[in-house]
Amino acid sequence: MPEVSQVHVNVALTNVSLAYRNPAFISDLVAPPVNVRKQQDKYFVYDSDREAFRSTDDRRAPGAEANEVDFALSSDSYYCQDHALVSVIPDEERENADPAIQPDIDRTEFLTDKIDLNKEIELADVVATDSSLPGTTLSGSDQWSDADSDPLIAVEDGKASIISQVQVNPNTLVLPYDVYTKVRTHDKIVSRVHYSGAQVPTAQVLAELFDVERVLVPRAVKNTALPGHAASMSYVWGKNAFLCYVPPRAALKTVSFGLSFVWTAAPGSMGGRVVETWRENARKSDIIRVQRYYDQKVIASAAIYVWKSAVA
């Protein structure tokens, strides 16, 4: 008779996966999580034609009807895909592991990191390739690595673009590490920072200078080499900078560049994450599977402005 493996949702390891956060990732910071009860459903889109901002004659003559106005209501949908990876812990490894080695926790963190890395790469690819996102491709003296450029003026132009379209003041500037190192050492930035009395252009200082709530500096890297070949590392976000609006919390009738719909009601999940373990006697091994249910979507494309190839 075939062996039957008992799958167990490991709450303790799920807590590890939920708590483990790689500080290099920013996808959940610019596309904040929204907890949903169904894996697939719809959400409403209010007034996509900006009727609320259209001037309409509201003068009414005595005895006449007032001019009638209304707004469009449409919908879009999400589907929280199951993102899962497994790893094997052979009995030999468990028995020979030194006290400092924690096979279950190590595997859980390893798998969690890989799933979150894929989420980061997915959003970075959207920013780099989605033609519906406003922005420009810089070259030559316009690139922020060039002394003749002015990143501050460029960011102000990006702000104006966002405000004119969605009437919110962008609050998040994302400078990938390659861009950040050039901007913080740019002569025009350094001179402005020193004029303000600050000594070092840190991310916090740059946030004040660019008049945004925060400057995020993603440092996540990916290995693009094929398995079995020498590692070839590159930054996930490359050299594309962007400015966007991220609400303090996702809510009804709130503008946001992007959202991550998270199926928190998935069986056995905590915060949309599940860690399952089971025994496979035929392999003399324990198996760990980490899952995360989410759908990362652009909600308001006009709430972002992208500078592709921001630096050389």
Residue 125 belongs to domain with CATH number: 3.90.1690.10
Contact 86, 288 (CB under 8 A): yes
Residue 253 DSSP class: T
Q: Where is average pLDDT lowest: 71-75, 172-176, 238-242, 255-259?
A: 71-75
Say how far apart CA 141 and CA 143 lie, in whole Å: 5
Q: Where is average pLDDT lowest: 55-59, 126-130, 217-221?
A: 55-59
> Is 35 contained in some domain?
yes
pLDDT for residue 43: 81
Contact 142, 153 (CB under 8 A): no
Angle at 118 (CA atoms; ends 116, 124), nearest 5 degrees: 105
> Is 56 contained in some domain?
no
Contact 250, 34 (CB under 8 A): yes
> Is 291 contained in some domain?
yes
Residue 277 dihedral angles phi and psi, to the nearest 5°: -130, 145
Contact 36, 264 (CB under 8 A): yes
Q: How many domains does the chain have?
A: 1
Query: Which amino acid is residue 169, in one-letter code?
Result: N
pLDDT for residue 20: 66
Length of the chain: 312
Q: Is the pLDDT of residue 278 over 70?
A: yes
> Is 157 contained in some domain?
yes
Longest dimension (CA), the chain: 91
Task: Residue 172: name the closest of 294, 255, 48, 115 by CA.
Answer: 255
> Is 66 contained in some domain?
no
List the domain range (segments joined by +) for residue 160: 8-49+73-308
Angle at 210 (CA atoms; ends 129, 133), nearest 5 degrees: 20
pLDDT tens per residue across span 89-120: 999 988 888 777 888 989 999 999 999 999 99
> Is 242 contained in some domain?
yes
Residue whose structure tokens are 């997915």: 122
> Is 67 contained in some domain?
no
> Is 60 contained in some domain?
no
Say how far apart CA 120 and CA 150 lie, in whole Å: 29
282 burial via Cβ count (<10 Å: 0-12, 13-18, 19+): exposed
Helix (H, G, I), strand (E, B) or coil at 67: coil
Q: What is the pTM of this model?
A: 0.86
